[in-house]
Amino acid sequence: MERPGLPPHPNRKINQNDIAATFPTHPNTGSDYLQEPSETDKRAVRDDPDLKGEFYVGEFVTAQAKIYLIASTGQVSEVGDTRALLAEE
């Protein structure tokens, strides 16, 4: 299954390396855009057989306020506050 921004990943690998997580590009992080993962995002992860590897934790979606994790089942959970998680120390 080909998805924009995700290189070909047959057999649960990219360049012979196991896929541990994916990070889609969501350039529209303003408050007037959908912040949580869309149904299309959830289905793309859930329905991709090559995102079911032993080490795959899911797809991290970074929005303006929150970071979300889409599990390989398509289930979404909040990881935490974007600013707090990405803060530089």
Note the pLDDT tens digit of each residue in 53-88.
Answer: 889 999 999 888 889 999 999 999 999 999 899 886
Host domain of residue 38: 13-85
- The verdict on residue 4 lying in a domain is no
Rounded CA-CA distance 44/67 in Å is 18
Note whether 81 and 52 are within 8 A (CB).
no
- The verdict on residue 60 lying in a domain is yes
pLDDT class of 10 with cuts at 50, 70, 90? low
Q: Domain total for the chain? A: 1
Per-residue pLDDT at 14 exceeds 80: no
| The model's pTM | 0.80
Dihedral pair phi/psi, residue 55, rounded to 5°: -100, 0
- The verdict on residue 54 lying in a domain is yes
Which residues, 6+ apart, have CB-to-CB distance to 8 below 8 Å? Answer: 2, 14
In tens, the pLDDT along 37-59 reads 889 889 989 998 888 888 999 99
